[in-house]
Structure 1
């Protein structure tokens, strides 16, 4: 194959990757829309369990076809168990937030995750982070405060749960780097879902009869079942689109598109719930987006591996 043909194929792959990532971030907020609809009558741990169950079922045929389901050591299983526990905490925290906060506000706060990942990667992975990126992290946190502060006055400490979710996803992203080079991403998704489901079921068993709106399971009605199915299916679709997007284009190229999710979440939340951020929250959203994009730009400029790459196995909420 000539160099011109190879370049054309590479360009085509990147274009396809960008399209798939755009579709993924367009679908992702729908997960949260269904979750917010379900949280009115169903506890957040049960919603998270349904999401894990449907995702795992959707992934199972693909993992079986690729014949790598059983290719695991005990050490890898422990790794997946830890990842599953961290992701479970993240998802339950975020879904619980949706009962009290607007979808767009919660997602905007969650998007401090790349900023948190930048800092954690510097501390635990020894990645060199210059003062400019640290400054961008500080600016990004300031933007988050602009959103959290009025939300905190309205709903209290619940406004901090998206930050908890973001920290968990950042930790999971660092763990993914240790696995991504030697394990199939489909298997990573599948095993994470299984462990997450196990943890959720355990929490629901312990919480049964407690009256908790987080851990006490209920029998959903038909409408609730539709919302739960919507959560799981849209999560599976977004995950699959993300997998193929990252296989087609470099993560550093796709990363900026992730911030479109805030825009699409705002649009969907406005259409379904009538929620729309006020001027102060929009300012915070824009600051978070600007700081995140600056961090990505600095990483690409110095040709380092993007610390904001959460890979196809880490989105979450």
Structure 2
């Protein structure tokens, strides 16, 4: 009986589509998790919400890592995972604190200077020096960020700069991840980073308690808040797994534009849940950031295609 075989080109195309689908799912889930985090800040401080979300995310990751253990390769705990954990905690705490005071869509729009910052940092840290056109696109994108930040700085104060800090930490984390996954699988790295982040945030919580900072007891909160915490952690875990899967199946430059779906989701969730509508200036700045980021990804994709076609064909 003849066996049905799949042509390599068809399989590659299927894997790319699967990666893109996983990225779209992740971008749809992240704004929902952000909305839950913003809701939780009505019951606890952003730091406590960050503690809850980080610990629950790590707890959900353990059984998933056991189920997918055949995909674990390399050491789980390392210096890279520890550095990544510190950066992840910085990203989460900065964004949750921003969500507590400003519209989700505005915070995410500012946060999306991250691809532009990554383009600048890739030179000194990864040796990937961008050309003058990409430098110009980064400059335009940062102007767009300033357009978003300026009126919101007047309305919300210095807290509007926290998404910029989150973007910088996330860009640095991407660099750490690129280097660390050279000798270990992406799942191994993500699992180690989640465990390390949980340990770091737990130590920080114990220090805060020792210093006498007040904290909210779960027993004093409505039961549904507990389910929201579980939901936020689960959504974060699923989203990061989907992103890890996407990058394992599809080139980063092809996936990158789909990350901007998060802004669409954040705007929609902000409107439906909190009645937040971005003003005209914010929308203008967001459009400039999106346009410059899309151009950076276009140039990166073109560069990869040119590099591939210039290589001699092996016989």
Equivalent residue, structure 2, for 1:51: 53
Q: Can you give the 5+ residue segments of structure 1 that lack an aligned partner in the other structure?
A: 305-317
Equivalent residue, structure 1, for 2:180: 179
Q: Distance in 2 between matches of 1:19 and 1:69?
A: 23
Change (3 A) 1:297 1:7: same
Alpha-carbon shift at residue 151 of structure 1 (Å): 1.2
Q: In the alignment, does 2:255 pair up with 1:260?
A: no
Say whether the 8 Å CA contact 2:75–2:188 is kept in structure 1: no
Q: Can you give the 5+ residue segments of structure 2 that lack an aligned partner in the other structure?
A: 306-315
Q: Distance in 1 between matches of 2:42 and 2:212?
A: 14
Task: Please identify, of 180-189 and 148-157, the stretch whose mean Cα deviation from structure 2 is larger.
Answer: 180-189
Say whether the 8 Å CA contact 2:81–2:196 is kept in structure 1: yes
Equivalent residue, structure 2, for 1:310: none
Q: How does 1:215-234 map to 2 (within 5 A)?
A: 216-220=214-218, 221=221, 222-234=223-235
Q: How does 1:174-253 map to 2 (within 5 A)?
A: 174-208=175-209, 216-220=214-218, 221=221, 222-253=223-254
TM-score (norm 1): 0.88
Moved over 4 A (4+): 1-4, 67-71, 209-212
Q: In the alignment, does 2:75 pair up with 1:72?
A: yes
Q: 1:21 aligns with which of 20, 23, 26?
A: 23
Equivalent residue, structure 1, for 2:311: none
Say whether the 8 Å CA contact 1:49–1:196 is kept in structure 2: no
Task: Please identify, of 283-292 and 234-243, the stretch whose mean Cα deviation from structure 2 is larger.
Answer: 234-243
Say whether the 8 Å CA contact 1:115–1:140 is kept in structure 2: yes
Alpha-carbon shift at residue 211 of structure 1 (Å): 7.8
Equivalent residue, structure 1, for 2:165: 164
Say whether the 8 Å CA contact 1:147–1:285 is kept in structure 2: yes
Task: Please identify, of 45-54 and 202-211, the stretch whose mean Cα deviation from structure 2 is larger.
Answer: 202-211
Superposed CA offset, 1:149-175 (max 9, x none): 111111111000000011011111111
Q: Distance in 1 between matches of 2:6 and 2:202?
A: 54
Q: Distance in 1 between matches of 2:83 and 2:18?
A: 33
Q: Distance in 2 between matches of 1:49 and 1:164?
A: 19
Q: Give aligned pairs, total.
A: 300
Alpha-carbon shift at residue 68 of structure 1 (Å): 7.4
Q: Distance in 2 between matches of 1:284 and 1:291?
A: 11
Equivalent residue, structure 1, for 2:116: 115
The CA RMSD over aligned residues, in Å, is 2.3
Change (3 A) 1:244 1:124: closer
Equivalent residue, structure 2, for 1:94: 95
Say whether the 8 Å CA contact 1:89–1:168 is kept in structure 2: yes
